[in-house]
C-alpha cells in the first residue's frame, strides 16, 4: 500500500472512531436545523461528542503503546521483519495524526467555552450542523475551506 493508501486508511480510522463516539452518546438527541443554531442543547451535544471522540482516540493510542511495549520485532525472515516494520511505521503515523486531531478537539472545546464554536473563523457565518456533525472540529464553512485550499494549492504550485 502506498502513502496515498495509508492516508486513506488513516482517514477511515479517524471516521470509524468518530462514528463509534457518536454511537456511545446515549442520548437520542441529534441537532436539528429546526432549532436555534448553537443553542445550549446543541452545544452540550457537541461537547459530549468531542469529549467522547477524544476519549476513544486516547483508548486506541493506549492499545498501540501496549503493543509497542510488548517487545521488539523478532521475525527471523528479513521480508517478514520488513513487513512488520512497515506496519509499525503506518501505525505510528496514524497515532501522530490522531495526536494532532486531539489538539483540534481541544481547540474546538475551547471555542465551545468561548461561545465561538460553530462559527467560521474567516467569515463569522454559521458553519452548519451537517458539516459539524460530519467534522466536529471544523473551523470554517465549506466555502471558506475551499477558498483556503485553493490558495494553498496555488502557493504550493509557485
DSSP states along 23-40 = HH--------TTS-TT-H
Could you tell me what percentage of the chain is helix, strand and coil, using 3-state DSSP and rounding each to the nearest 5?
Answer: 70, 0, 30
pTM value?
0.72
φ, ψ of residue 140 to 5 degrees: the values are: -135, 155
pLDDT tens sequence for the chain (158 residues): 444 554 455 566 667 778 777 777 766 788 899 999 999 999 999 999 999 999 988 887 766 666 655 555 566 677 766 777 777 777 778 778 888 999 999 999 999 999 999 999 999 999 999 999 999 999 999 999 999 998 888 877 76
Q: What DSSP letter does each residue of 48-66 carry, written as one string?
A: HHHHHHHHHHHHHHHHHHH
Q: Going from the N-terminus, what domains does the chain have, and what CATH number goes with each?
A: 5-157 (1.20.120.910)
Amino acid at each position: 500500500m502506498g502513502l496515498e493508501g495509508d492516508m486513506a486508511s488513516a482517514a477511515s480510522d479517524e471516521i470509524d472512531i468518530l462514528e463509534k463516539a457518536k454511537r456511545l452518546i446515549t442520548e437520542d438527541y441529534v441537532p436539528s436545523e429546526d432549532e436555534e443554531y448553537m443553542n445550549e442543547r446543541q452545544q452540550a451535544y457537541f461537547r459530549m461528542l468531542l469529549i467522547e471522540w477524544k476519549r476513544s482516540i486516547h483508548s486506541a493510542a493506549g492499545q498501540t503503546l501496549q503493543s509497542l511495549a510488548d517487545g521488539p520485532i523478532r521475525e527471523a525472515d528479513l521480508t517478514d521483519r520488513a513487513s512488520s516494520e512497515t506496519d509499525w511505521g503506518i501505525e505510528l503515523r496514524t497515532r501522530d495524526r490522531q495526536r494532532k486531531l486531539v489538539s483540534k478537539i481541544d481547540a474546538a472545546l475551547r471555542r465551545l467555552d468561548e461561545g465561538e464554536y460553530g462559527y467560521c473563523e474567516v467569515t463569522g457565518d454559521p458553519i452548519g450542523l451537517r458539516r459539524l456533525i460530519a467534522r466536529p472540529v471544523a473551523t470554517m464553512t465549506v466555502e471558506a475551506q475551499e477558498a483556503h485550499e485553493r490558495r494553498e494549492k496555488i502557493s504550493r504550485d509557485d
